[in-house]
Amino acid sequence: MRTGTPTYFPQLATERLDIALCRAAALVARAGEVHAVEEGLGVGQQLVLKMLAAVGPASQQVLSEELRIDRSVMVTICDDLERAGFISRERNPADRRSYAVTITAAGQRRLKQAEASVPAFLADSFSTLSASERRQLSTLLVKLLDV
């Protein structure tokens, strides 16, 4: 078995855009989780706080759908955030079967701390791309995701 510079994967990545995109996404996701763990706030937790800060109270179902996080994982994320005092959950007055999740003042402060390190993380993670290429990648991904 040979080690060193890959010879087949570059060809595969060129021929199979789906494989290249999956591998790139996995690489960035792993780096994001490592960064998040270092910051003490998981990626999912940060995304929930970010959305709540941007749009206001939301049900766990809406958070799950908007952030594309599995419902069972969302319950765990909200449990952890509530235990830390970063969110509160109260019965939704519009639908008593669901909870309205709200970011707390402590959650706002924690989000601000976590967000402070994101630009440097992104710059490092995408350092092989120029600023123009990063904007182009962002445009293409938004188009691909149809959002």
Please report the pLDDT score of residue 94 as a whole number.
74
Instruction: Report the 3 state secondary structure along 82-137.
Output: HHCCCEEEEEECCEEEEEEEEECHHHHHHHHHHHHCHHHHHHHHCCCCCHHHHHHH
Residue 1 pLDDT class (50, 70, 90 cuts): low
Please report the pLDDT score of residue 145 as a whole number.
87
Q: What is the pLDDT of residues 31-48, one digit of tens each?
A: 988 898 888 899 999 999
Residue 110 has pLDDT above 90, yes or no: yes
Q: What is the chain's mean pLDDT, rounded?
A: 91
Q: What is the pLDDT of residues 138-147, one digit of tens each?
A: 999 999 988 7
> What domains does the chain contain, in order, with CATH numbers?
1-39 (no CATH), 42-144 (1.10.10.10)
